[in-house]
Amino acid sequence: MKRGPKIRNTTIPGFKFAGIPAGIKKSGNRDLALIYSECPAVTVGLFTTNRIKAAPVKLAIKNISSGKAQAIIINSGNANACTGEKGMKAAREIMTSTAHELGISPGLVYSSSTGIIGRPFPVETIKKALPDLIKKLSPLSLKHTASSIMTTDTFAKISFKQIEIGGRKGTIAGIAKGAGMICPNMATMLCFIVTDIAINPQALDAALREAASRSFNMLSVDNDMSTNDTVMIMANGRLNNPLITKRSPDYSIFKSALNEISYDLARMIAEDGEGATKLIEVIVKGARSKSDAGKIALSVANSMLVKTAVYGRDPNWGRIMAAIGYSGIAVNENKIDISLNKVKLVSNGMGTGKEKTARNALLTKNIIITIELGNGKESARALTCDLTEGYIKINAHYST
Protein backbone atom coordinates (compact mmCIF):
# COMPACT_ATOMS: atom_id res chain seq x y z
CA MET A 1 0.00 0.00 0.00
CA LYS A 2 1.84 3.09 -1.21
CA ARG A 3 0.94 6.51 -2.35
CA GLY A 4 2.57 9.61 -3.81
CA PRO A 5 5.81 9.62 -5.82
CA LYS A 6 6.53 5.93 -5.25
CA ILE A 7 3.60 4.86 -7.41
CA ARG A 8 4.34 7.34 -10.15
CA ASN A 9 4.94 4.62 -12.69
CA THR A 10 2.18 2.25 -11.69
CA THR A 11 0.85 0.30 -14.64
CA ILE A 12 -2.04 -2.13 -14.76
CA PRO A 13 -1.86 -4.45 -17.77
CA GLY A 14 -4.37 -3.58 -20.46
CA PHE A 15 -5.38 -0.23 -18.95
CA LYS A 16 -4.58 3.26 -20.19
CA PHE A 17 -5.29 6.56 -18.51
CA ALA A 18 -5.42 10.25 -19.32
CA GLY A 19 -6.16 13.48 -17.50
CA ILE A 20 -6.04 16.96 -19.02
CA PRO A 21 -7.17 20.52 -18.39
CA ALA A 22 -10.16 20.89 -20.68
CA GLY A 23 -11.26 24.35 -19.57
CA ILE A 24 -14.22 23.31 -17.38
CA LYS A 25 -12.57 24.69 -14.24
CA LYS A 26 -11.78 28.39 -14.23
CA SER A 27 -8.49 27.61 -12.48
CA GLY A 28 -7.09 25.93 -15.57
CA ASN A 29 -6.38 22.76 -13.58
CA ARG A 30 -6.89 19.28 -14.99
CA ASP A 31 -10.61 18.57 -15.13
CA LEU A 32 -11.21 15.81 -17.66
CA ALA A 33 -10.09 12.20 -17.30
CA LEU A 34 -10.41 8.93 -19.12
CA ILE A 35 -9.95 5.35 -17.98
CA TYR A 36 -9.69 2.92 -20.87
CA SER A 37 -9.33 -0.82 -21.01
CA GLU A 38 -7.97 -2.39 -24.21
CA CYS A 39 -10.70 -5.00 -23.99
CA PRO A 40 -14.20 -4.93 -22.44
CA ALA A 41 -13.85 -5.41 -18.67
CA VAL A 42 -16.16 -7.01 -16.14
CA THR A 43 -17.51 -3.92 -14.36
CA VAL A 44 -19.70 -3.32 -11.31
CA GLY A 45 -20.58 -0.15 -9.41
CA LEU A 46 -22.25 1.40 -6.41
CA PHE A 47 -24.00 4.73 -6.61
CA THR A 48 -25.39 7.46 -4.34
CA THR A 49 -28.56 6.67 -2.43
CA ASN A 50 -29.51 10.35 -2.61
CA ARG A 51 -33.02 10.62 -4.04
CA ILE A 52 -31.77 13.42 -6.26
CA LYS A 53 -29.17 11.96 -8.61
CA ALA A 54 -26.91 13.57 -11.17
CA ALA A 55 -27.61 12.78 -14.83
CA PRO A 56 -24.55 10.50 -15.37
CA VAL A 57 -25.42 8.59 -12.19
CA LYS A 58 -28.96 7.95 -13.44
CA LEU A 59 -27.53 6.60 -16.69
CA ALA A 60 -24.87 4.50 -14.97
CA ILE A 61 -27.43 2.87 -12.68
CA LYS A 62 -29.42 1.91 -15.77
CA ASN A 63 -26.43 0.57 -17.69
CA ILE A 64 -24.47 -1.18 -14.94
CA SER A 65 -26.61 -4.32 -15.12
CA SER A 66 -24.77 -5.22 -18.34
CA GLY A 67 -21.71 -5.93 -16.17
CA LYS A 68 -19.34 -4.67 -18.88
CA ALA A 69 -17.41 -1.49 -19.58
CA GLN A 70 -14.42 -0.41 -21.56
CA ALA A 71 -14.11 3.31 -20.80
CA ILE A 72 -15.09 5.78 -18.11
CA ILE A 73 -14.94 9.50 -18.85
CA ILE A 74 -14.90 11.71 -15.79
CA ASN A 75 -15.03 15.47 -15.39
CA SER A 76 -14.63 17.72 -12.39
CA GLY A 77 -15.88 21.32 -12.08
CA ASN A 78 -19.51 20.56 -12.91
CA ALA A 79 -21.69 17.88 -11.32
CA ASN A 80 -24.32 17.73 -14.10
CA ALA A 81 -26.92 17.47 -11.31
CA CYS A 82 -30.26 19.31 -11.23
CA THR A 83 -29.76 20.10 -14.91
CA GLY A 84 -33.01 18.57 -16.14
CA GLU A 85 -33.53 16.89 -19.51
CA LYS A 86 -30.72 19.01 -20.97
CA GLY A 87 -28.29 17.46 -18.50
CA MET A 88 -29.42 13.96 -19.36
CA LYS A 89 -28.99 14.69 -23.06
CA ALA A 90 -25.54 16.14 -22.41
CA ALA A 91 -24.42 13.06 -20.45
CA ARG A 92 -25.63 10.79 -23.26
CA GLU A 93 -23.86 12.93 -25.83
CA ILE A 94 -20.56 12.72 -23.94
CA MET A 95 -20.82 8.94 -23.76
CA THR A 96 -21.68 8.60 -27.46
CA SER A 97 -18.91 10.97 -28.57
CA THR A 98 -16.35 9.19 -26.39
CA ALA A 99 -17.39 5.83 -27.79
CA HIS A 100 -17.19 7.20 -31.32
CA GLU A 101 -13.72 8.69 -30.82
CA LEU A 102 -12.48 5.47 -29.21
CA GLY A 103 -14.14 3.33 -31.85
CA ILE A 104 -16.00 1.20 -29.30
CA SER A 105 -19.67 0.50 -28.56
CA PRO A 106 -21.49 3.35 -26.71
CA GLY A 107 -22.86 0.74 -24.29
CA LEU A 108 -19.31 0.22 -22.98
CA VAL A 109 -18.78 3.86 -22.00
CA TYR A 110 -19.71 5.38 -18.62
CA SER A 111 -19.53 9.00 -17.63
CA SER A 112 -19.10 10.52 -14.21
CA SER A 113 -19.15 14.12 -13.00
CA THR A 114 -18.28 16.04 -9.86
CA GLY A 115 -18.38 19.73 -9.01
CA ILE A 116 -21.02 22.38 -8.61
CA ILE A 117 -24.69 21.42 -8.85
CA GLY A 118 -27.22 23.10 -11.11
CA ARG A 119 -24.99 24.83 -13.62
CA PRO A 120 -25.44 24.14 -17.35
CA PHE A 121 -23.17 21.25 -18.29
CA PRO A 122 -20.28 22.31 -20.61
CA VAL A 123 -20.91 19.59 -23.15
CA GLU A 124 -19.24 21.43 -26.05
CA THR A 125 -16.08 22.18 -24.03
CA ILE A 126 -15.76 18.50 -23.21
CA LYS A 127 -16.48 17.30 -26.75
CA LYS A 128 -13.85 19.67 -28.12
CA ALA A 129 -11.27 18.27 -25.66
CA LEU A 130 -12.00 14.61 -26.46
CA PRO A 131 -9.45 14.05 -29.26
CA ASP A 132 -6.65 15.50 -27.14
CA LEU A 133 -7.78 13.45 -24.11
CA ILE A 134 -7.69 10.24 -26.13
CA LYS A 135 -4.33 11.12 -27.68
CA LYS A 136 -2.90 11.42 -24.18
CA LEU A 137 -3.97 7.88 -23.13
CA SER A 138 -1.01 6.09 -21.61
CA PRO A 139 -0.43 3.14 -19.26
CA LEU A 140 1.64 5.54 -17.10
CA SER A 141 -0.95 8.30 -16.60
CA LEU A 142 -3.02 7.01 -13.66
CA LYS A 143 -1.70 9.97 -11.63
CA HIS A 144 -3.13 12.42 -14.16
CA THR A 145 -6.51 10.72 -13.99
CA ALA A 146 -6.37 10.94 -10.21
CA SER A 147 -5.59 14.65 -10.23
CA SER A 148 -8.20 15.45 -12.89
CA ILE A 149 -11.08 14.28 -10.70
CA MET A 150 -10.09 16.48 -7.73
CA THR A 151 -12.39 19.30 -6.59
CA THR A 152 -11.42 20.74 -3.19
CA ASP A 153 -9.04 17.81 -2.61
CA THR A 154 -5.51 18.92 -1.77
CA PHE A 155 -3.79 15.78 -3.03
CA ALA A 156 -4.47 13.06 -5.59
CA LYS A 157 -5.55 9.79 -4.03
CA ILE A 158 -4.08 6.61 -5.47
CA SER A 159 -3.82 3.19 -3.88
CA PHE A 160 -2.05 0.25 -5.45
CA LYS A 161 -1.52 -3.36 -4.52
CA GLN A 162 -0.11 -6.50 -6.12
CA ILE A 163 -1.25 -9.96 -5.10
CA GLU A 164 -0.42 -13.46 -6.25
CA ILE A 165 -3.31 -15.17 -7.99
CA GLY A 166 -2.68 -18.64 -9.41
CA GLY A 167 1.06 -18.15 -9.43
CA ARG A 168 0.85 -14.85 -11.31
CA LYS A 169 1.23 -11.31 -10.02
CA GLY A 170 -2.09 -9.48 -10.36
CA THR A 171 -2.53 -5.76 -9.83
CA ILE A 172 -5.33 -3.71 -8.27
CA ALA A 173 -5.17 0.08 -8.37
CA GLY A 174 -7.72 2.63 -7.23
CA ILE A 175 -8.14 6.38 -7.40
CA ALA A 176 -10.60 8.50 -5.44
CA LYS A 177 -11.71 12.04 -4.78
CA GLY A 178 -13.44 13.26 -1.68
CA ALA A 179 -13.01 16.38 0.44
CA GLY A 180 -16.48 17.75 1.33
CA MET A 181 -20.01 16.41 1.29
CA ILE A 182 -18.71 13.12 2.59
CA CYS A 183 -21.00 11.10 4.78
CA PRO A 184 -22.00 7.54 5.48
CA ASN A 185 -23.03 5.69 2.36
CA MET A 186 -20.73 7.79 0.30
CA ALA A 187 -20.92 11.41 -0.71
CA THR A 188 -19.25 13.56 -3.38
CA MET A 189 -17.01 10.68 -3.54
CA LEU A 190 -15.81 9.24 -6.76
CA CYS A 191 -13.71 6.10 -6.74
CA PHE A 192 -12.53 4.07 -9.68
CA ILE A 193 -10.70 0.81 -9.24
CA VAL A 194 -9.08 -1.21 -12.02
CA THR A 195 -7.52 -4.65 -12.02
CA ASP A 196 -6.10 -7.07 -14.55
CA ILE A 197 -7.36 -10.03 -12.51
CA ALA A 198 -10.04 -12.17 -14.14
CA ILE A 199 -13.12 -12.44 -11.91
CA ASN A 200 -16.78 -13.02 -12.66
CA PRO A 201 -19.34 -10.22 -12.16
CA GLN A 202 -21.11 -11.89 -9.19
CA ALA A 203 -17.89 -12.28 -7.23
CA LEU A 204 -16.71 -8.80 -8.18
CA ASP A 205 -20.01 -7.24 -7.10
CA ALA A 206 -20.02 -9.03 -3.74
CA ALA A 207 -16.40 -8.09 -3.12
CA LEU A 208 -17.05 -4.42 -3.94
CA ARG A 209 -20.09 -4.29 -1.67
CA GLU A 210 -18.13 -5.78 1.22
CA ALA A 211 -15.20 -3.41 0.65
CA ALA A 212 -17.46 -0.33 0.45
CA SER A 213 -19.38 -1.31 3.58
CA ARG A 214 -16.11 -1.33 5.53
CA SER A 215 -14.55 1.77 4.05
CA PHE A 216 -16.48 4.38 2.05
CA ASN A 217 -19.69 3.72 3.96
CA MET A 218 -17.86 4.19 7.28
CA LEU A 219 -16.48 7.55 6.29
CA SER A 220 -17.80 10.92 7.35
CA VAL A 221 -16.48 14.38 6.68
CA ASP A 222 -19.56 16.53 7.12
CA ASN A 223 -22.56 14.24 6.98
CA ASP A 224 -23.71 15.67 3.67
CA MET A 225 -24.36 13.13 0.92
CA SER A 226 -23.98 14.18 -2.68
CA THR A 227 -25.97 13.57 -5.81
CA ASN A 228 -22.95 12.10 -7.63
CA ASP A 229 -21.28 9.39 -5.51
CA THR A 230 -19.88 6.57 -7.50
CA VAL A 231 -17.61 3.61 -6.84
CA MET A 232 -16.82 1.47 -9.89
CA ILE A 233 -14.42 -1.35 -10.50
CA MET A 234 -13.27 -2.71 -13.87
CA ALA A 235 -11.61 -6.12 -14.12
CA ASN A 236 -10.22 -6.75 -17.62
CA GLY A 237 -8.84 -10.24 -17.02
CA ARG A 238 -5.54 -9.55 -18.77
CA LEU A 239 -3.70 -11.54 -16.12
CA ASN A 240 -5.20 -14.67 -17.70
CA ASN A 241 -5.59 -16.28 -14.27
CA PRO A 242 -8.25 -18.98 -13.85
CA LEU A 243 -11.50 -16.96 -13.53
CA ILE A 244 -12.19 -16.12 -9.88
CA THR A 245 -15.67 -17.01 -8.66
CA LYS A 246 -17.16 -16.78 -5.17
CA ARG A 247 -16.01 -20.38 -4.63
CA SER A 248 -12.40 -19.94 -5.76
CA PRO A 249 -9.73 -20.30 -3.09
CA ASP A 250 -8.26 -17.05 -4.49
CA TYR A 251 -11.49 -15.12 -3.84
CA SER A 252 -10.63 -14.31 -0.25
CA ILE A 253 -7.17 -13.07 -1.31
CA PHE A 254 -8.84 -10.82 -3.88
CA LYS A 255 -11.42 -9.56 -1.38
CA SER A 256 -8.84 -8.81 1.23
CA ALA A 257 -6.75 -6.81 -1.27
CA LEU A 258 -9.83 -4.88 -2.41
CA ASN A 259 -10.74 -4.19 1.23
CA GLU A 260 -7.25 -2.79 1.79
CA ILE A 261 -7.33 -0.59 -1.31
CA SER A 262 -10.79 0.74 -0.38
CA TYR A 263 -9.88 1.44 3.25
CA ASP A 264 -6.65 3.09 2.15
CA LEU A 265 -8.53 5.41 -0.22
CA ALA A 266 -11.19 6.13 2.42
CA ARG A 267 -8.44 7.00 4.88
CA MET A 268 -6.91 9.43 2.38
CA ILE A 269 -10.32 11.03 1.83
CA ALA A 270 -10.77 11.53 5.59
CA GLU A 271 -7.22 12.82 5.94
CA ASP A 272 -7.93 15.30 3.15
CA GLY A 273 -11.36 16.36 4.46
CA GLU A 274 -12.02 20.03 3.84
CA GLY A 275 -9.94 22.06 6.28
CA ALA A 276 -8.82 18.94 8.17
CA THR A 277 -5.64 18.96 10.24
CA LYS A 278 -6.13 15.50 11.76
CA LEU A 279 -7.30 12.06 10.62
CA ILE A 280 -9.63 10.45 13.18
CA GLU A 281 -10.26 6.72 13.33
CA VAL A 282 -13.07 5.63 15.67
CA ILE A 283 -12.81 2.00 16.73
CA VAL A 284 -15.75 0.45 18.57
CA LYS A 285 -15.22 -2.92 20.24
CA GLY A 286 -17.28 -5.18 22.46
CA ALA A 287 -20.60 -4.56 20.70
CA ARG A 288 -23.45 -7.05 20.49
CA SER A 289 -23.42 -6.90 16.67
CA LYS A 290 -21.33 -5.45 13.86
CA SER A 291 -24.26 -3.21 13.01
CA ASP A 292 -24.41 -1.82 16.58
CA ALA A 293 -20.66 -1.20 16.53
CA GLY A 294 -20.89 0.53 13.16
CA LYS A 295 -23.75 2.80 14.23
CA ILE A 296 -21.90 3.92 17.35
CA ALA A 297 -18.65 4.46 15.44
CA LEU A 298 -20.44 6.65 12.88
CA SER A 299 -22.36 8.52 15.58
CA VAL A 300 -19.05 9.52 17.19
CA ALA A 301 -17.38 10.18 13.82
CA ASN A 302 -20.25 12.47 12.82
CA SER A 303 -20.25 14.52 16.02
CA MET A 304 -19.25 18.10 15.32
CA LEU A 305 -18.45 18.49 19.00
CA VAL A 306 -16.05 15.51 18.96
CA LYS A 307 -14.45 16.76 15.75
CA THR A 308 -13.92 20.29 17.07
CA ALA A 309 -12.59 18.91 20.37
CA VAL A 310 -9.96 16.85 18.51
CA TYR A 311 -9.02 19.95 16.54
CA GLY A 312 -8.57 21.91 19.77
CA ARG A 313 -6.67 19.00 21.40
CA ASP A 314 -9.38 18.91 24.06
CA PRO A 315 -9.74 15.39 25.52
CA ASN A 316 -13.43 16.11 26.11
CA TRP A 317 -14.66 12.52 26.51
CA GLY A 318 -18.09 13.73 27.65
CA ARG A 319 -18.83 14.61 24.04
CA ILE A 320 -17.83 11.09 22.98
CA MET A 321 -20.12 9.62 25.66
CA ALA A 322 -22.99 11.84 24.49
CA ALA A 323 -22.46 10.71 20.88
CA ILE A 324 -22.41 7.06 21.96
CA GLY A 325 -25.65 7.67 23.83
CA TYR A 326 -27.52 9.30 20.98
CA SER A 327 -26.53 6.61 18.47
CA GLY A 328 -29.74 4.91 19.51
CA ILE A 329 -27.94 1.69 20.43
CA ALA A 330 -28.55 0.34 23.94
CA VAL A 331 -25.34 0.59 25.94
CA ASN A 332 -24.41 0.04 29.54
CA GLU A 333 -22.86 3.32 30.61
CA ASN A 334 -21.02 1.67 33.49
CA LYS A 335 -19.15 -0.74 31.23
CA ILE A 336 -17.81 1.78 28.74
CA ASP A 337 -14.06 2.41 28.37
CA ILE A 338 -12.75 5.18 26.11
CA SER A 339 -9.16 5.74 25.01
CA LEU A 340 -7.62 8.51 22.94
CA ASN A 341 -4.44 7.31 21.22
CA LYS A 342 -4.07 4.62 23.89
CA VAL A 343 -4.55 6.97 26.87
CA LYS A 344 -7.49 5.54 28.81
CA LEU A 345 -9.76 8.49 29.61
CA VAL A 346 -12.85 6.59 30.75
CA SER A 347 -12.95 3.36 32.68
CA ASN A 348 -16.32 1.75 33.45
CA GLY A 349 -18.15 4.92 32.48
CA MET A 350 -16.18 7.26 34.72
CA GLY A 351 -13.31 9.66 34.01
CA THR A 352 -9.80 8.49 34.90
CA GLY A 353 -8.45 12.01 35.25
CA LYS A 354 -5.80 11.48 32.56
CA GLU A 355 -6.80 14.57 30.57
CA LYS A 356 -3.31 16.05 30.67
CA THR A 357 -1.63 12.95 29.23
CA ALA A 358 -4.39 12.71 26.62
CA ARG A 359 -3.88 16.31 25.60
CA ASN A 360 -0.28 15.47 24.73
CA ALA A 361 -1.37 12.33 22.93
CA LEU A 362 -3.57 14.54 20.74
CA LEU A 363 -0.50 16.24 19.26
CA THR A 364 -0.18 13.55 16.58
CA LYS A 365 -1.76 13.89 13.13
CA ASN A 366 -3.53 10.53 13.39
CA ILE A 367 -6.01 10.23 16.25
CA ILE A 368 -7.49 6.90 17.28
CA ILE A 369 -10.57 6.94 19.52
CA THR A 370 -11.12 3.47 20.95
CA ILE A 371 -14.44 2.67 22.58
CA GLU A 372 -14.89 -0.63 24.44
CA LEU A 373 -18.57 -1.27 25.20
CA GLY A 374 -18.23 -4.49 27.18
CA ASN A 375 -21.48 -5.78 25.66
CA GLY A 376 -20.23 -8.44 23.23
CA LYS A 377 -17.54 -9.40 20.75
CA GLU A 378 -18.26 -7.43 17.59
CA SER A 379 -16.35 -4.39 16.38
CA ALA A 380 -16.30 -1.74 13.64
CA ARG A 381 -14.31 1.30 12.71
CA ALA A 382 -15.20 4.64 11.15
CA LEU A 383 -13.06 7.34 9.57
CA THR A 384 -13.39 11.09 9.85
CA CYS A 385 -11.33 14.23 10.31
CA ASP A 386 -11.33 17.18 12.66
CA LEU A 387 -13.57 20.19 12.04
CA THR A 388 -11.71 23.48 11.72
CA GLU A 389 -12.06 27.08 10.62
CA GLY A 390 -10.64 25.83 7.31
CA TYR A 391 -13.82 23.85 6.60
CA ILE A 392 -15.92 26.96 7.17
CA LYS A 393 -13.71 29.09 4.95
CA ILE A 394 -13.80 26.58 2.08
CA ASN A 395 -17.56 26.10 2.24
CA ALA A 396 -18.73 29.60 3.13
CA HIS A 397 -16.64 31.50 0.68
CA TYR A 398 -16.44 29.34 -2.41
CA SER A 399 -19.24 27.73 -4.39
CA THR A 400 -18.30 24.06 -4.47
Catalytic positions: 188
Burial class of residue 256 in the structure, from the number of CB atoms within 10 Å of its CB (0-12 exposed, 13-18 middle, 19+ buried): middle
Chosen residue from 107, 118, 139, 166 binding a second copy by CB under 8 A: 118
Strand 190-195 and strand 230-235: pairing? parallel
Chosen residue from 211, 321, 358, 371 binding a second copy by CB under 8 A: 321
Nearer to a second copy, 13 or 115 (CB): 115
C-alpha 204/C-alpha 210 separation (Å) is: 10
C-alpha to C-alpha distances, 356 to 164, 287, 363, 368, 391, nearest whole angstrom: 47, 29, 12, 17, 27
Stretch of residues binding a second copy (CB under 8 A), selected from 128-136, 239-247, 304-312, 369-377:
304-312
Nearer to a second copy, 81 or 257 (CB): 81
Nearer to a second copy, 186 or 258 (CB): 186
26 is an interface residue for a second copy by CB under 8 A? no
* 240-279 positions binding a second copy, by CB under 8 A: none
Nearer to a second copy, 48 or 147 (CB): 48
Helix axes 290-302, 304-311, angle to 10 degrees: 60
Q: Count residues binding a second copy (CB under 8 A).
A: 65
Written as one string, the DSSP assignment of 69-112 is EEEEEEEEEE---S-HHHHHHHHHHHHHHHHHHHTS-GGGEEEE
C-alpha 57/C-alpha 91 separation (Å) is: 9
Instruction: DSSP letter for 17, please.
Output: E
392 is an interface residue for a second copy by CB under 8 A? yes
Minimum separation from the CB atom of position 307 to a second copy (A) = 9
C-alpha 276/C-alpha 8 separation (Å) is: 25
Q: Is 112 left (phi over 0), alpha (psi -120 to 50) or beta?
A: beta
388 is an interface residue for a second copy by CB under 8 A? yes
Nearer to a second copy, 4 or 318 (CB): 318
**What does the per-residue mask of binding to a second copy show for 156-195, with x meaning CB under 8 A?**
------------------------xx-x------------
Beta pairing partners, 242: none
Binding site for a second copy (CB under 8 A): 49-53, 79, 81-84, 116-119, 180-181, 183, 222-227, 302-305, 308-309, 311-312, 314, 316-319, 321-331, 333-334, 346, 349-351, 387-389, 391-393, 395-400
